[in-house]
Structure 1
Amino acid sequence: MKGILKTALLQYPLVWEDPEANRNRFSEVLKDVSPDTDIIVLPEMFNTGFTMTPENVAKEEGPKTVDWMLQKSLETNAALAGSIPFYENGAFTNRLFFVQPDGKTASYDKRHTFTLAGEDKVYDAGADRMLVDFRGFRICPLVCYDLRFPVWSRNTDDYDVLIYVANWPEVRITAWDALLKARAIENMAYCIGVNRVGTDGSGHAYNGHSAVYDPLGERTAFSEKEEIVHTILSKAHIGSVRKKLRFLEDRDHFKLL
């Protein structure tokens, strides 16, 4: 239906540093995604977990996982979005890929590497934000720690949807909940957050809280368990909110140096 974007949020545990096992698991999960879904969102580093030792995984696993995403996008007729450790030009990045059924691929390297875990010492940070136009919606995908930095997320390009993929631990989940809602309100856009569940190889516990917030900050989807979360975004709703409440017209104008 025109003006509607159907999304599937994949909230699952991840097998530590085992891309093949994770691809196989998600291949099974994708069989249960609604057949009319437009976008399927996976967690951050969905093929390895949030590892700070990417050298433990064969460097070819990055391109292999992108090929898998392309194949699954074609099979499901939906875009797939998620980040993976990616090796290129002698360095690793935490790279989010947004792949489409027609084979079109866009990527974004996580701007804010998580210094508390030493991510800044292992992965090169990105410099440019990515915007994707897909099925009538303008989408801005970002990664985990980016959520804490509202300037980087600011809606200066009239996007409709913010997507955050994450490995956000249970111990700090209150911040995740609050910031997802805040990003939706201040940017007058849908805000999607996809987290994982389970325990990773470093002993960190995750309790999900994958969610969708509408442009007014109303939560329209939420989960704490292992499951697929289906939700529908409405272009008309975005337009109605922005027409009634013209807050974006009063936004500050700036350029990041």
Structure 2
Amino acid sequence: MKVGLFQMDILKDFDQNFEKTKRAILEASKNELKLLVFPETFLSGYYKSSIKRVSDRLSYYFDQLCFMSREYQIDIYGTFPVKENANLYNCGFYFSEGSCIARYKKIHLIGIMGERDIFSEGKEVVVAESNLIGRVGLAICYDLRFPELFRKISTNSKITIVSAMWPKTRIEHWKTLLKARSIENQCFVIGVNRVGSDKNNVYPGNSLVFDPYGSTILECKDKEGLYFSDIDLSSVEKYRNDFNVLGDRRIFSLQ
């Protein structure tokens, strides 16, 4: 099965960002990809004016991505700012076969970067159930530092996708944590990071795909573009049967 990672420079102009998105989906279709993952807040970035405009126009983007997922028979994942009542969430949307089949509100918000000043915290762990791929665990950026979330996801899926905006200053953490999550949970982990910069950070890409053994099967550099790789989900079940780490775990509470 072919999966795609679209590293993009997220501009202040959200319409330009969406044009990039549509071109990436078309290119992914031509290459017969089954899944395409975008970076965190791939239309708005963390530009406050864009966050408001994108959240106001969410139904338009929602309808367009639903249509493209059906038209091109490809699953699509990325995050948007979403208003619900008085709250704004950083929400991952998983599109498949013409509809949004799962929504994941980011649980872990990074305090030192002021994310809580913009978004509210989600509460629910989410695994998408796709007819094209199967069960897919959903995560967003800073979630990567909290292994208990990934352990919960992995009990119900063979692949976890992480949509991120991870800065260059901590890029070695990004690489190490993605690999660790794949080894711990014996699953595929796909991490898609943005490129470019904003007023606060430089983003170096370095999107990655790890297999259940923790081996790197795709590593991107720092250029915008579509990257893709073949993955064999049957290898997850085989490895888990051969070396049953998850069966040996013990559950306990930390106070």
TM-score normalised per structure 1 = 0.91
Which 5+ residue runs of structure 2 have no aligned equivalent? none
Distance 1:182 1:68 in 2: 35
CA contact (8 A) 1:19 1:65 kept: no
As a proportion of its length, which structure holds more helix? Answer: 2
CA shift at 1:64, angstroms?
A: 2.2
Task: Rate the CA distance shift 1:123–1:67 in 2: closer, same or farther, 3 A.
Answer: same
Equivalenced residues, count: 251
Distance 1:85 1:232 in 2: 31
Residue 31 of structure 1, aligned match among 13, 26, 33? 26
Describe the superposition over 1:136-188 as per-residue Cα deviations: whole angstroms up to 9, x where unpaired.
53210100000000011114623100110000011110000000000000011
Over the aligned positions, Cα root-mean-square deviation in angstroms equals 2.0
* Secondary structure of 1:193 counterpart: strand
Which aligned pairs between 1:1-257 and structure 2 lie closer than 5 A? 5-16=1-12, 18-35=13-30, 36-51=32-47, 56-57=52-53, 59-134=55-130, 135-155=132-152, 157-200=155-198, 202-224=199-221, 225-253=223-251
Distance 1:51 1:75 in 2: 31
CA contact (8 A) 1:185 1:216 kept: yes
Distance 2:62 2:16 in 1: 15
CA shift at 1:243, angstroms?
A: 1.4
Distance 1:214 1:126 in 2: 28
CA shift at 1:73, angstroms?
A: 1.0
CA shift at 1:55, angstroms?
A: 5.8
Task: Rate the CA distance shift 1:205–1:176 in 2: closer, same or farther, 3 A.
Answer: same
TM-score normalised per structure 2 = 0.91
Distance 1:120 1:104 in 2: 26
Describe the superposition over 1:195-254 as per-residue Cα deviations: whole angstroms up to 9, x where unpaired.
011112x24111101010001100000101222111122122112211111101012335
Amino acid paired to 1:98: Y
Distance 2:51 2:234 in 1: 46
CA shift at 1:20, angstroms?
A: 1.8
